[in-house]
């Protein structure tokens, strides 16, 4: 890891509810081999509220939540095998009427990269 510079920056993480978390001051190392990415120490992640204050120790309550979620997922996969799948083969089709997509004349298309699925809106 070759560090080319040091920078003093303020960082803020967005919480699960979408609101901004605490803003902290960080002394960061700048690396030439990283572009559009930032490595943050776990000490700073704790200060940002991203990691538990007990990290790296595993909290028993957190483990219960993970085990409960795993159990729920297994139940759902067992109850709805025809609706839930990790992959779709060529012979599996979504049931429903064909969709017609009409594009307005002169519409501008912007391509973007999404690292994951969109978040579901809260009800």
Task: Determine the pLDDT at residue 120.
Answer: 60
Residue entry with tokens 């960082």: 11
pLDDT in tens, 30-77: 777 777 677 778 888 888 888 888 887 877 777 787 788 888 888 888
CA separation for the pair 15, 76 (Å, rounded)? 28
Task: Determine the pLDDT at residue 47.
Answer: 86
Of 82 and 123, which is predicted with more confidence? 82
Compute how many other C-beta atoms are within 10 angstroms of the C-beta atom of residue 48: 19
Task: Determine the pLDDT at residue 59.
Answer: 73
CA separation for the pair 96, 84 (Å, rounded)? 16
Inform me whether the pLDDT recorded for 116 exceeds 70: no
By the 8 A CB rule, do 52 and 62 touch?
yes
Residues 6+ apart with CB under 8 A from 26: 8, 9, 10, 11, 40, 44
Inform me whether the pLDDT recorded for 123 exceeds 50: no
Give the residue extent of every domain in the chain.
Answer: 3-48, 58-84
Model pTM score: 0.43
Nearest 5°: the CA angle 16, 17, 18 is 90
CA separation for the pair 47, 45 (Å, rounded)? 5
What is the percent of the chain where pLDDT is above 90? Answer: 0
Compute how many other C-beta atoms are within 10 angstroms of the C-beta atom of residue 123: 3
């Amino acid at each position: 890891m070759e560090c080319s510079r040091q920078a003093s920056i303020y960082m803020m993480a967005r919480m699960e509810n979408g609101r901004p978390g605490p803003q902290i001051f960080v002394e960061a190392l700048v690396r030439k081999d990283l572009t559009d990415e930032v490595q943050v120490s776990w000490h700073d992640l704790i200060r940002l509220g991203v990691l538990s204050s007990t990290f790296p120790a595993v909290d028993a309550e957190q483990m219960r939540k993970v085990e409960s979620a795993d159990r729920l997922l297994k139940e759902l996969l067992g109850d709805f095998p025809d609706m839930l799948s990790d992959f779709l083969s060529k012979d599996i089709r979504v049931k429903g009427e064909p969709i017609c997509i009409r594009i307005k004349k002169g519409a501008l298309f912007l391509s973007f990269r999404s690292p994951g699925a969109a978040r579901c809106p809260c009800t």
